[in-house]
Chain A
Amino acid sequence: MDRGRRNMLVLPILLAAGTARAGSSAPRGAGAAEPLRVGMSTALSGPAQGLGAGMKAGVEAYFELVNAAGGIHGRRLELIALDDQYEPSKTGPNVRRLIDEDRVLAIVGNVGTPTAVVTVPIVNEKKVPLFGAFTGAGVLRKTPPDRYVFNVRSSYADETAEMIRGLLVDRKLDPEDIAFFTQDDSYGDAGYNGAVKALQSHGFKAAEKLAHGRYARNTLDVEDGLAKVLDPRYHPKAVIMVGTYKPCAKFIKLARKCGLRALFANVSFVGSADLLKELGGAANGVVITQVVPHWSGKLPVLEQYRESGLAPNFVSLEGFIVGRAYVEVLRASGPEPTPERFVETAESGTPFDLGLGEPRALSPAVHGFGTSVWPTRIQAGTFRPFSHWNEVPAP
């Protein structure tokens, strides 16, 4: 009797302690029934909505795949995606809300560099990983890397460097044959600076003197930039473009109309499918470097992607790969993952199989999975991967 009463007294206390503990840690994924929540702030409306939607679809598709297979250690994955319209002023509040209110384990697959610029300080402050953002900007690729920032894709610098290499080495162009059309913000700067660095590494010191047209973000006012590129002092044979698909498409169409015969090379961020759609008949020969391989390839992740039933494109494929990379690290973080444990696991040197060939390992010094850039060209309304830039027909 006495004993029984004591147990009855102890039980509520244990329960209270248990709920208190669960209450504090559950949103970060403690309870068995509690889903593992992951956040995303991306452009679900506005000029860049194709990118945001694509990334979201890719990540969700892979999460569905995992959930269908019983989740991670029995727990479901849940993606909470908020719209920031590709406006940095909206990204900050979104990310804070995801971390503070939804208590997500990580911010996964955000779209954009300007948005990333505001996101990185927040995740560093909140100690929540920013994983696989859809941007190749340098702000996410510091040396040494930020503890809470992880990249899946290669950087814009990697992409533009690949372009420079292809143009100078494969196609034997002079550096003076190259012009730039970039968005007048940090995204454009990232691509441009990467290219300048690559040019310098190829021995061309006066890269700043090359033709460089710019446009304002979220506008289609490309004329002024085009005027710069078309200045009779320059004779560009190739234009390296760092922008979004709409202005880029307008630029390409207008440039062609103005008689510019040049190779247009876009970085992956442009959004290949949208660009293709926007260009229509003018798309042939436009090059887009990709940070993911073409979905038609033989790699295991591509097979998974094809089985997922998504309309294949590079953005959703990147989202899919980001989803897989995140899940691999999360799974290795044990049944009760926390942001901190996630980072520790990621940096542990364990190789993670992204289904892209050799498993890749991270370390405190290396926070990026991808180093590869896959160039593609638009041919008859489709993307054709190529390995040698001579494969691209002269414009």
Chain B
Amino acid sequence: MNDKPKSIEDNLVSLSIAAGVLFVVLLLAMLAVQQALGSSVRQLESSTLPALSSLSGQRHAVARLFQRQVQVLATRTQSELEAYRDRSAIDGELERSRTLLGEALGGLAREGAREQVGALEAPTRALLARDQALFESVRLRHGFQETLDQQSGSVQAELQKLIQETRAVSGKAHLEYVLALRRIARSPSPLEVKKLVFGGERIQREATEQVVAAVLHLGQLVGKIALAQNDDELNSIAANELNQNLERSRSHLRALLAALDAKDPIRSRAEQMQKQFESVAAGIADAQNPQSLIGLRRNTLRESKKAAELRAELLDAVREFSDGVEQVELIVSQETQRASSAAQFTRWAVRIGMFAVFAVAVWIGIVSVRRMRDSVRALHVQNRELESLSRELQGMNEGLEGLVAQRSAELVKRERSMRLVLDTMDEALIMCDLEGRVIGESSKAALTWFGTPGREALVWDYILPPEQKLIDQFRLGYAQLVEDVLPFEVSIECLPRRFERGEHIYALGFRQVFEEGTFRSILVAARDVTSQVAAEARERDAHEQHLLLANLLKDKAGFRAFVRDGEGLLADLRTQPDRDVTLRALHTLKGNTAVYGMESVARLCHSLEERLAEAGDCLTTSELEELSGLWRARIHRIEETVTTDAAIELGEADYAEMVHSIRQRKDHDQLMNIVEAWKWVATSALLQRLSRQMRRVAERVDKPIEVTVEHHRLRVMPGSLDAFWGSLVHVVRNALDHGIEPAAERVARGKPERGRIVLRTKPLPTGGFVVELEDDGRGIDFDALGRVALRKGLPAKARKDLILAMFHDGVTTREEASELSGRGVGLAAVASTCKAAGGSIDVESTSGKGTCFRFTFSGQPFRIREGSTSGFPARRSRQSLRAARS
């Protein structure tokens, strides 16, 4: 047992444990992976990516700063410059990105990251401060330049005016000079010529020309100053050319003034001009005056230089800043690298882990499949063992007969050697092929009983008497057996099991014979059961006799009445009545005999009824004789016990009542009444008898009932209603057969399991009495009754019509007759006897509630038994019987 593979259940359990463990491992692995991946991704998300983005923000801001500087440097005026003054956007961006960077790097575990961010702050501040300084420097330079331009413009205008003034001043002298020339041209005189040559006009004119030339040159110098590229150039211009020019201009102006006459009105204009020149000269060259052109230009150059320096510093600051940013970038990129390699590692770990889990799963799968396969194989082996065991058991269970048949078949097969065995058997064994042909040797008994079979004789022709019906039944049953479609036992049921041949009765048995597993032939076994049947019949007779006697002893008077009725009915039948009367008589006889246990007569009556129903004619003489014979034979056996000369039966109660009445010295008439009443028939006894019959019938139909007898101490005239009482059994049967439902149906309808029946006799206040039979069954099916009545051509409109129809011959709602009822004869018989006794019938029925048959005998005399004071029989007696279930 230890080597045996584990059972499927075990394997399933271990498989599910493995799968569960695997699932848990997978879950844990996934959790671990999620944790690991999550932390690196979180780091990437929360620190490195924002850090990278803010670094790029920093660079972007610095790029914008540079762009702004370029724009600032490209401006030419202060108003142009003002457009770039607002730097808050760049400041904000720098500040923002640096804060973000700090936050992002704060999340990094790496040491020094925060310090690096802090280190960025100083270069950033320096950068911004220098930018601001540069802006201011440029602004100043623009201011100087603008002032310079303005100044230089106004200086130029002044100089232009000066030239104009010079020309105006010299214009007069010029005119004088020209007029002198004209005079000389007209009439030359030496004085005139001398004056022209040496006169003030000419000096004036020359001085004018030189002043104009000097002033024009000064204008040029002003342009040069404005364009001087550096201090050296400016200093050179100021120290050399400008000074020279100013000195020369001054001397020329002085010469011009000197040339002007003190009284000349134009002299004041010339003096004015001289002052004007000095102021212009100061505006140009005053070293102390920062608003002079030289000073302005110097400032401009200084600011330019300063701007260049600032720009250089700025570049340094940018470099420093860039270095800082690069440091931070390095850290961030290292962190990024680390995070992503962690993620990468986690991914690989996941792959490998998944692969391992998968491999384990596959391994477990393979192992489980193998184990399962082993288990299934073991199961197969077990199944095969079980099958063979069960086959063996079946074989064993086939029993003794099977074994005998088998052995017989074997004997037949081994003909000669088994001959002796066959001969010794008291069974006729006939082997037949599937067509029914007798094959092989038959047993000696067969040869003895049925003679030697002809060549290829059919078994049914061989063994059966020449009765076509029997032969056909055999043939058809045999064919069914051969077909082997229906179960063997069922097929056998269709074959005749018993038949009479000559004086003997044979019982038949059949066995299928298999050769090498194939159904090949049938062994027919016949046994002579003549003696057995006779014994059975005797046994039955004895049983019947016993039953009759028992009934006789129980109720002698009833039995006498039964015998009397039976004799009467037979007498009726002998009169060759019409068919209805015949059926009624037969039916009543059947009912009565069945009730009193005279089963053989009841059976005969039933079979005669069957035949009459089929043939539709009357009894034949021989049938009548058979029935009378059987009846006589049965009655004869107990004739000695049944005395036809009836004595008066006195019950204990009657007796006690009588004694009691005498002791009380009752009146003679009263005593007479009591005694006379003894001869009257107590309905209590009649009803009790009826109830007994009823209980018997109930037992047969397996319907538990509870019968209540209510007799009201009624006695009826002896002999007056004998036929009626006899036929009343039909109503009883009817009630049990049609009225009372089976127990299960009753329970389903909410009724008590036991059917309740009340048998009642009751005096009528108007005279006469009634006999009632009441049940709580399903009631009369008036619809079905109506249909049947119509079929029979009877009136069926009113309830009354239907009730009449019910008591008509041949009216039954049953499709098939049973031994109990259903031929539609019973009620007709009751109606007939009731009418003969001068009674009338009334039926009350409620569907589902029950039915009451009431027979009213209004003209019939009756007596009430007196004296119930002695405590003797109660007015009501109740007997119940529980029908035993078998």
Residues of A in contact with B (beta carbons under 8 Å apart): 216, 219, 221-228, 230-232, 258
Chain B: CB-nearest residue to A223: B171
- Min CB distance, A145 to chain B, in Å? 33
Q: Which of A219, A221, A224 has the most CB of B within 10 A?
A: A224
CA distance A223 to B178 in the complex (A): 10
Chain B: CB-nearest residue to A214: B167
- Determine whether the beta carbon of A227 is less than 8 Å from that of B174: yes
- Determine whether the beta carbon of A231 is less than 8 Å from that of B181: yes
- Min CB distance, A262 to chain B, in Å? 14
- Determine whether the beta carbon of B168 is less than 8 Å from that of A258: no
Query: Hey, which chain A residues are within 8 Å of B178, CB to CB?
Result: 227-228, 230-232
Query: Hey, which chain A residues are within 8 Å of B182, CB to CB?
Result: 230, 232
- Determine whether the beta carbon of B175 is less than 8 Å from that of A224: yes
- Min CB distance, A65 to chain B, in Å? 44
CA distance A219 to B177 in the complex (A): 22
Which of B164, B167, B170, B175 touches A226 (beta carbons < 8 Å)?
B175
Tell me whether B27 is interfacial, beta carbon within 8 Å.
Answer: no
CA distance A219 to B184 in the complex (A): 31
- Min CB distance, A200 to chain B, in Å? 28
Known: A216-B164, A232-B185. A223 touches B174 (CB 8 A): yes
Known: A216-B164, A219-B164, A224-B167. A232 touches B172 (CB 8 A): no
- What 0/1 pattern do residues 157 to 169 of B give for CB contact below 8 A with A? 0000000100110
Which of A216, A219, A223, A232 touches B175 (beta carbons < 8 Å)?
A223
Tell me whether B386 is interfacial, beta carbon within 8 Å.
Answer: no
Which of B174, B179, B185, B186 touches A224 (beta carbons < 8 Å)?
B174
- 12 example contacts (A-B, Cβ-Cβ < 8 A) are as follows A216-B164, A219-B164, A221-B167, A221-B171, A223-B172, A224-B168, A224-B175, A230-B175, A230-B178, A231-B178, A231-B181, A232-B186
Measured as residues with beta carbon below 8 angstroms from the partner, the interface class of chain B is 10 to 19
Q: Which of B167, B170, B184 has the most CB of A within 10 A?
A: B167
Residues from 147 to 165 in B contacting A, C-beta threshold 8 Å? 164
- Min CB distance, B184 to chain A, in Å? 8
- Determine whether the beta carbon of A227 is less than 8 Å from that of B177: yes
Chain A: CB-nearest residue to B170: A224
CA distance A218 to B168 in the complex (A): 13
Given A223-B174, A224-B174, A226-B175, 14 more pairs with CB closer than 8 A = A216-B164, A221-B168, A221-B171, A222-B171, A223-B168, A223-B172, A224-B170, A224-B171, A224-B175, A228-B178, A232-B178, A232-B182, A232-B184, A258-B175
Query: Hey, which chain B residues are within 8 Å of A223, CB to CB?
Result: 168, 171-172, 174-175
Query: Hey, which chain B residues are within 8 Å of A219, CB to CB?
Result: 164, 168
- Min CB distance, A257 to chain B, in Å? 10
CA distance A225 to B171 in the complex (A): 8
Q: Which of B172, B178, B182, B186 has the most CB of A within 10 A?
A: B178
Query: Hey, which chain B residues are within 8 Å of A227, CB to CB?
Result: 171, 174-175, 177-178
Q: Classify the interface of chain B: helix, strand, loop or mixed.
A: helix
Chain B: CB-nearest residue to A224: B171
- Min CB distance, B216 to chain A, in Å? 16
Query: Hey, which chain A residues are within 8 Å of B168, CB to CB?
Result: 216, 219, 221, 223-224
CA distance A232 to B180 in the complex (A): 9
- Min CB distance, A228 to chain B, in Å? 8
- Determine whether the beta carbon of A258 is less than 8 Å from that of B179: yes
Q: Which of B168, B177, B184 has the most CB of A within 10 A?
A: B168
- Min CB distance, B185 to chain A, in Å? 4
Query: Hey, which chain B residues are within 8 Å of A258, CB to CB?
Result: 175, 179
Which of A221, A222, A228 touches B164 (beta carbons < 8 Å)?
A221
Query: Hey, which chain B residues are within 8 Å of A224, CB to CB?
Result: 167-168, 170-171, 174-175
CA distance A219 to B175 in the complex (A): 17
CA distance A228 to B178 in the complex (A): 8
CA distance A123 to B175 in the complex (A): 43
- What 0/1 pattern do residues 179 to 215 of B give for CB contact below 8 A with A? 1011011100000000000000000000000000000
- Min CB distance, B186 to chain A, in Å? 8
CA distance A232 to B182 in the complex (A): 5
- Min CB distance, A222 to chain B, in Å? 8
CA distance A232 to B186 in the complex (A): 9
- Min CB distance, B267 to chain A, in Å? 15
CA distance A224 to B174 in the complex (A): 6
CA distance A306 to B129 in the complex (A): 77
CA distance A349 to B171 in the complex (A): 52
- Min CB distance, B358 to chain A, in Å? 75
Query: Hey, which chain A residues are within 8 Å of B164, CB to CB?
Result: 216, 219, 221
Query: Hey, which chain B residues are within 8 Å of A231, CB to CB?
Result: 178, 181
Query: Hey, which chain B residues are within 8 Å of A232, CB to CB?
Result: 178, 181-182, 184-186
- Min CB distance, A264 to chain B, in Å? 17
CA distance A221 to B266 in the complex (A): 11
Query: Hey, which chain A residues are within 8 Å of B185, CB to CB?
Result: 232
Q: Which of B164, B171, B182 has the most CB of A within 10 A?
A: B171
Q: Which of A216, A225, A228 has the most CB of B within 10 A?
A: A216
- Min CB distance, B448 to chain A, in Å? 128
Query: Hey, which chain A residues are within 8 Å of B174, CB to CB?
Result: 223-224, 227
Chain B: CB-nearest residue to A225: B171
- What 0/1 pattern do residues 129 to 161 of B give for CB contact below 8 A with A? 000000000000000000000000000000000
Chain A: CB-nearest residue to B181: A232
CA distance A16 to B177 in the complex (A): 77
Chain B: CB-nearest residue to A220: B168
- Min CB distance, B203 to chain A, in Å? 16
Q: Which of B174, B181, B185 has the most CB of A within 10 A?
A: B174
CA distance A221 to B169 in the complex (A): 9
- Min CB distance, B856 to chain A, in Å? 99
Query: Hey, which chain A residues are within 8 Å of B167, CB to CB?
Result: 216, 221, 224
CA distance A231 to B172 in the complex (A): 14
Query: Hey, which chain B residues are within 8 Å of A230, CB to CB?
Result: 175, 178-179, 182
CA distance A225 to B164 in the complex (A): 12
- Min CB distance, B773 to chain A, in Å? 96
CA distance A225 to B175 in the complex (A): 8
Q: Which of A216, A222, A227 has the most CB of B within 10 A?
A: A227
- Min CB distance, A364 to chain B, in Å? 41
Query: Hey, which chain B residues are within 8 Å of A225, CB to CB?
Result: 171
CA distance A53 to B481 in the complex (A): 155
CA distance A359 to B168 in the complex (A): 48
Q: Please name the 9 residue pairs, one residue from A and one from B, whose CB atoms are nearest each other, closest first.
A: A224-B171, A223-B171, A221-B168, A232-B185, A227-B174, A227-B178, A227-B175, A223-B175, A232-B182
Query: Hey, which chain A residues are within 8 Å of B175, CB to CB?
Result: 223-224, 226-227, 230, 258
Chain A: CB-nearest residue to B177: A227
- Min CB distance, A183 to chain B, in Å? 13
- Min CB distance, A236 to chain B, in Å? 12
Chain B: CB-nearest residue to A231: B178
- Min CB distance, A76 to chain B, in Å? 41
CA distance A219 to B269 in the complex (A): 14
CA distance A201 to B185 in the complex (A): 33
Query: Hey, which chain A residues are within 8 Å of B172, CB to CB?
Result: 223
Chain A: CB-nearest residue to B169: A221
- Min CB distance, A363 to chain B, in Å? 43
- Min CB distance, B533 to chain A, in Å? 118
Chain A: CB-nearest residue to B172: A223
CA distance A216 to B186 in the complex (A): 31
Chain A: CB-nearest residue to B178: A227
Chain B: CB-nearest residue to A229: B178
Query: Hey, which chain B residues are within 8 Å of A228, CB to CB?
Result: 178
CA distance A232 to B179 in the complex (A): 8
Residues from 570 to 609 in B contacting A, C-beta threshold 8 Å? none
- Min CB distance, A388 to chain B, in Å? 32
